[in-house]
Structure 1
Amino acid sequence: MTDHPSRIAALDEWIRGKEGENLEFKSARSNFHFEELTKYCVALANEGGGKIILGVTDERPRQIVGSKAFLQPERTRKGLCERIPLGIDFEEIDHPDCAANSRVLVFSVPSRPVGVAIQHDGHRWVRKEDSLVEMSDDRLRRIYAETGHDFSADVCADATPDDLDDLAIENFRDRWIAKANKAEDQELVARIQAMSGTQLLEDIEAVVNGRVTYAALILFGTNRALTRHLAAAEIVFEYRSNDNSGPAQDRKEFRQAFFTCYDNLWNVINLRNDKQDFQEGLFVVPISTFNERPVREAILNAVSHRDYQLGGSIFIRQYPRRLEIDSPGGFPVGITLENILDRQNPRNRRVAEILTRCGLVERSGQGMNLIYEDLIKQSKPAPEFSRTDQYQVGLTLHGTVQDPAFVRFVEKVSKETTAFFHTHDWMLMSEASRGEKLPKESEPRIKRLIDLGIIERGKGRKFMLSRKYYEFVGKAADYTRRKGLDHDHNLALLKKHLDESGEAGASLDELAQVLPSLPKEEVRNLLRILKYRGIAGTKGRGPGSRWIALEGDGNES
């Protein structure tokens, strides 16, 4: 069985291309070591992204030899994504020119985020000729310089270590130890426990040569020190029961070390966090309006990315069914609404690195991805940035559960399949559940979700959840009704075009443009149905044949 011509053409182009920064070929006839694959993926990411192609020789002229490596590529990709903080994808291509094993396995690796060097087991790999080597210090410095000046790493001239809160330092120590224990790194646990507070701050570069950085003030500073040196490092919480102007029903101001208020922020939000009940068989299952994980991630994002050189505080406004978080400063350089899920660029790198040390922030910087995924899995609207401009990022988290049945279906999909789903996959599932149009550029992801039996094509570019979903929620009749209407609608469009084409008729390519969202073979099957019903026929043979309208009444079953 051979693949779609476009995929084969793409493979042929890669084979003819130059092996360089974005292509790596390996014959891998029988196997390929997973650790070696991981290293090459790290190197490709550090070099701007690319593809590692298994089943093709790297010597010119390149030959397709086929590969039996990683016969369960979904599991392999999941393993890669657990080790490398990027949305790695794969595709299997069967080439018609290969007589024996024609399977070519292609792993696509996106570029590293701006200002971030990807590493695995402490090594930042890059390629040098036919070998893998560690990234040089000079190249690493150039990558770090991409994000521009890091204000949080600057030293506050008038601050001293006495301006830092001992409780905040110990809270950080406890979180760092907990992370090390989880990784079963007892040597690191012992080292953290043995350090004095001063040594701990020097080790994480919050204090440099005895001098206090702004990152240290933000994360460990006392109220008095922040008031004197960085009053903008403040988080204001308000609870409002409605959108009316006037004073809030509750207001709290946190001008203190972030490590002393982080948990308190969640506690005040959770105080009025109601439950939404939905029926599951004989039982009523509650879902929190605000889930802890996306709320905490949103707060961490605001602290890590806000511009501390601008006046103004971070504002958290809680309403019964939504949470608004406004932070000074627009998106960091290189970040837009279009790429926010795929690129990261921490404005305050020193702050982000310290939060990463203790496990509050993922090394991958995928906090926004986690927010999107958590909301979608609970059938809540995607985050909004309607109040965002060059001076402020305004994030809204909506808490209303839209379709409880979708929540249960997502749980079922997660348990039954070993497939790894990227944030973009979850967004496509969510949009399909609402019968929305899906973007053409997402076609590879759409095809994969169709192959997994999660979504199906509807009218035009619109999609719907698969028969599995409707059977799961006990609404098989709804599926038949919706799918049947789509089927009849497509047949009617083809018949209308043939009627308008008259005796000249229309080619298959022309008719495929009438239903651009459907594969050509599916359009051909619909035409066969019209032919069986006596509504359409063909004239001529071969590539030049045309479809024409007939005089049938269309009532044959």
Structure 2
Amino acid sequence: MPSENQHLEFKEAKKQFDSRKLYRYCVALANEGGGFLVLGIADKPPRPVVGSNAFPNTVATASKIFTAVGFRVEVIEVNHPDGRVVVLQIPSRPKGTAYHYDGAYLMRSGEELIPMSEDQLRKIFAEGQPSWLEQVALQGLSAQDVVQFLDTQSFFELLNQPYPTEQSGVLERLLAERLVQQSDTGYAILNIGALLLAKSLHTFEGVGRKAARVVVYSGESKMDTLSDLTGGKGYAVGFRGLVQYVMGRLPQNEVIEDAIRKEVKLVPEVVIRELLANALIHQDFELTGTSPMVEVYADRVEISNPGEPIVPVDRFIDGYQSRNERLA
């Protein structure tokens, strides 16, 4: 592997490796989806095999790990030409469960092992329950109500599909995409359906507060606000308009290119589009009273969203764990 990642950790451990540290790494890796802890390989590039004398009895080591942390870890000895390598294959934690050692629910952050935040633990313990996106936003609706509240016309246009000639065809597609559900009391629009397709997010209590907000300042600080606007449409049907609105508020610079004077925006549209999409998708919907925000200053643009990253900051480059896949 070219580098360590969320599921792979190298340690030299030429002579020995502290047992308590081993147990803590097993817990941290299991909490992050499982992976491998490899002893006997340098943890700095180019990571040659250096050999390890740690844990000579792999069977006894596996037994001790199970006693200490409460789950089974495979301990494998590999006789490499450049030295003995010990590979610990660590399983992922069960859904809705976080492992701890000595009362600490651990995760990795670079070279360190740190306690998981309350935000992350709450998310793990809620895994067995429907996510915020799967909860009902509005229920007891007729088919006509659903079409009235959701921009179904734009929905089919975005899918590059013809609009059904009958209302039942529209509802069938929304049900198939799990944006709407049906019960004895009629139709219910789920949070994800409202968030993506609402003609007005404020129709849905609890969803309206997730609307993106754009604040424009006249200078390089928050001292003087020129405009403060909160979006009203669902993310999917209103995304193009959001990008265009932000681009229209960006400062312009004059540049000379091929002897022609041109007006150039502070940030290219492709960058704004990418960052806005990520901010909307990767927010933590369990947090209330806060929403994605764009702040435009005279010299910069700041885009933020609610929640802490689920990938440690120093693993942004090689971390692939994402949030809200279905929304994306």
Normalising by structure 1, report the TM-score. Answer: 0.31
Question: 2:73 matched to which residue of 1?
Answer: none
Q: Deviations over 1:51-71 (max 9, x none)?
A: xxxxxxxxxxxxxxxxxxxxx
**C-alpha separation in 2, matches of 1:164 and 1:341:** 42
Identity of aligned residues (%): 16
Q: Is the alpha carbon distance of 1:226 and 1:151 closer, same or farther for their aligned partners in structure 2, counting shifts above 3 Å? A: farther
Question: 2:301 matched to which residue of 1?
Answer: 323
Q: Is the alpha carbon distance of 1:256 and 1:284 closer, same or farther for their aligned partners in structure 2, counting shifts above 3 Å? A: closer
**C-alpha separation in 2, matches of 1:175 and 1:204:** 14
CA contact (8 A) 2:252 2:263 kept: yes
Q: Is the alpha carbon distance of 1:287 and 1:300 closer, same or farther for their aligned partners in structure 2, counting shifts above 3 Å? A: same
CA contact (8 A) 2:213 2:293 kept: yes
1:172 correspondence with 2:155: yes
Alignment partner of 1:151 out of 131, 139, 146? 131
**C-alpha separation in 2, matches of 1:294 and 1:203:** 33
**C-alpha separation in 2, matches of 1:315 and 1:296:** 14
Q: Is the alpha carbon distance of 1:346 and 1:232 closer, same or farther for their aligned partners in structure 2, counting shifts above 3 Å? A: farther
1:239 correspondence with 2:219: no
Q: Which has the larger radius of gyration?
A: 1
Where in structure 2 are the equivalents of 1:232-271 lying within 5 Å? 232-246=209-223, 248-271=225-248
Question: 2:179 matched to which residue of 1?
Answer: 206
Where in structure 2 are the equivalents of 1:336-415 lying within 5 Å? 336-352=312-328
**C-alpha separation in 2, matches of 1:301 and 1:217:** 19
CA contact (8 A) 1:236 1:315 kept: yes
Where in structure 2 are the equivalents of 1:418-497 lying within 5 Å? none
Tell me how far 1:239 sits from its aligned partner: 0.6
Tell me how far 1:277 sits from its aligned partner: 4.1
Tell me how far 1:202 sits from its aligned partner: 1.6
Tell me how far 1:216 sits from its aligned partner: 0.7
Alignment partner of 1:218 out of 170, 195, 212? 195
* Secondary structure of residue in 2 paired with 1:295: helix
Question: 2:271 matched to which residue of 1?
Answer: 294
Q: Is the alpha carbon distance of 1:214 and 1:345 closer, same or farther for their aligned partners in structure 2, counting shifts above 3 Å? A: farther
Question: 1:309 matched to which residue of 2?
Answer: 286
Tell me how far 1:218 sits from its aligned partner: 0.8
**C-alpha separation in 2, matches of 1:252 and 1:157:** 24
Tell me how far 1:238 sits from its aligned partner: 0.8
Q: Deviations over 1:309-357 (max 9, x none)?
A: 212122111112311112111112xx122332333333223211xxxxx
Q: Deviations over 1:6-27 (max 9, x none)?
A: xxxxxxxxxxxxxxxxxxxxxx
**C-alpha separation in 2, matches of 1:171 and 1:345:** 30
**C-alpha separation in 2, matches of 1:245 and 1:282:** 37
Tell me how far 1:295 sits from its aligned partner: 0.9
Tell me how far 1:158 sits from its aligned partner: 4.2
Tell me how far 1:214 sits from its aligned partner: 1.4
**C-alpha separation in 2, matches of 1:283 and 1:245:** 35
Q: Is the alpha carbon distance of 1:321 and 1:200 closer, same or farther for their aligned partners in structure 2, counting shifts above 3 Å? A: farther
Question: 1:228 matched to which residue of 2?
Answer: 205
Gap runs ≥5 in structure 2? 1-34, 36-123
Tell me how far 1:302 sits from its aligned partner: 1.5
> Aligned letter for 1:215?
I
Q: Is the alpha carbon distance of 1:229 and 1:217 closer, same or farther for their aligned partners in structure 2, counting shifts above 3 Å? A: same
Tell me how far 1:217 sits from its aligned partner: 1.5
Tell me how far 1:244 sits from its aligned partner: 3.9
* Secondary structure of residue in 1 paired with 2:295: strand
**C-alpha separation in 1, matches of 2:230 and 2:242:** 10
**C-alpha separation in 1, matches of 2:196 and 2:137:** 17
**C-alpha separation in 1, matches of 2:291 and 2:320:** 23
CA contact (8 A) 1:151 1:348 kept: no
Tell me how far 1:291 sits from its aligned partner: 1.4
> Aligned letter for 1:337?
V
Question: 2:53 matched to which residue of 1?
Answer: none
* Secondary structure of residue in 2 paired with 1:276: strand
CA contact (8 A) 1:237 1:253 kept: yes
> Aligned letter for 2:136?
C
CA contact (8 A) 1:278 1:284 kept: yes
**C-alpha separation in 2, matches of 1:246 and 1:264:** 27
The answer to which structure has the higher strand fraction is 2
* Secondary structure of residue in 1 paired with 2:196: helix
CA contact (8 A) 2:194 2:201 kept: no
CA contact (8 A) 1:226 1:255 kept: no
Question: 1:273 matched to which residue of 2?
Answer: 250
**C-alpha separation in 1, matches of 2:324 and 2:203:** 17
- Alpha-carbon RMSD across the aligned residues, in angstroms, is 3.5
Q: Is the alpha carbon distance of 1:152 and 1:349 closer, same or farther for their aligned partners in structure 2, counting shifts above 3 Å? A: farther
1:197 correspondence with 2:177: no
> Aligned letter for 1:296?
R
Q: How many residues align?
A: 197
